[in-house]
Amino acid sequence: MSELPEGLRLELEGLKPLLGNCASLDATRARAPFPHELAARLMEGRGDMEQRRAFVQGLIDVVRAILEDFPDNIFWDLDYLASCLWLAGGPRETEHLAGRVVRLCRGFGNKSKLRFRYAHDFLFGYDWARWVLREPEGREDTGPFDLGFLDYLDARCQELVELISRSDAKYGPLQGPEFRNPFIFCREPADEAHLHRVLAREDLIPVKAWRFDGERRWHLPFTDLRAEAALRLGLSRKAGP
């Protein structure tokens, strides 16, 4: 880390106090690693200066986007996403991937028409596993942070915006400051944290984002299993936006 330009290093380390408790779904650790800790582990003895700069800047941009667009995000297991940034290729590829993730945060987050509250479904692979399961032969080799899946999410974002403009029954305009929740279960912070800790304990998280390799799985109906777990925990809700 000492080889980085001082301004970039300080900017990376400056993210630490913004992440609050930095909660993790990995029960074996007290918290998720801070961004500068992830960067140090991934870069140790690897990469030239240009690649390191691109990676650190990309990681900073992604973390800031999540902070700005999903300020209520609870779990900060960014190990796998950071690893994908590091392994994206050269500096241009790293910059491009980071930019794509930032764009998705802007499109789905609290300042958009969609106004989803958390980045959890993206980070922990629920959106991705559901997408692969629909057409596994053509999609099983595409990862949750690969460009093919990000292309789908970009298109899905536009589809949802169009549904909102037509006052769709499931994806209609929101009232006031509320967040969008098309699910059958509550996603208030305490409920969200409890549900996903139970899911992690029961090994029902499709992407283990707290691992550098992600140990990703798509072969189970994770979306349905999550809903079933939520109902079992008494987290059902009335239909809403």
DSSP string, 44-108: TT-S-HHHHHHHHHHHHHHHHHHHHH-TT--B---HHHHHHHHTS-SHHHHHHHHHHHHHHHHHH
Structure tokens at 50: 């240009």
What pLDDT score was predicted for residue 47? Answer: 83
Closest CA to 75 of 208, 214, 170: 208
Q: What residue has token string 């189970």?
A: 220
pLDDT the model gives residue 46: 87
Question: pTM here?
Answer: 0.95
Q: What angle do CA 92, 116, 120 make, to 5 degrees?
A: 65
Give me the pLDDT at residue 238, please.
63
Domain range list for the chain: 6-232
- Whole-angstrom distance, CA of residue 125 vs CA of residue 115: 19
- In the numeric block, which tokens belong to residue 70? 């999903």
pLDDT in tens for each of the 241 residues of the chain? Answer: 667 889 999 999 999 999 999 999 999 999 999 999 999 999 998 889 999 999 999 999 999 999 999 999 999 999 999 999 999 999 999 999 999 999 999 999 999 999 999 999 999 999 999 999 999 999 999 999 999 999 999 999 999 999 999 999 899 999 888 999 999 999 999 999 999 999 999 999 999 999 999 999 999 999 999 999 999 999 998 644 4
- 3-state SS assignment for residue 224: helix
Rounded Cα distance, 22 and 215, in Å: 21
55: nearest Cα among 69, 74, 39, 75: 39
Q: How far apart are CA 87 and CA 102, in angstroms?
A: 18
The answer to whether the beta carbons of residues 132 and 139 sit under 8 Å apart is: yes
For 87-232, where are the alpha helices, taking DSSP H only? 91-108, 120-123, 126-134, 136-139, 147-165, 189-201, 222-232
Tokens representing residue 14 in the block = 């400056």
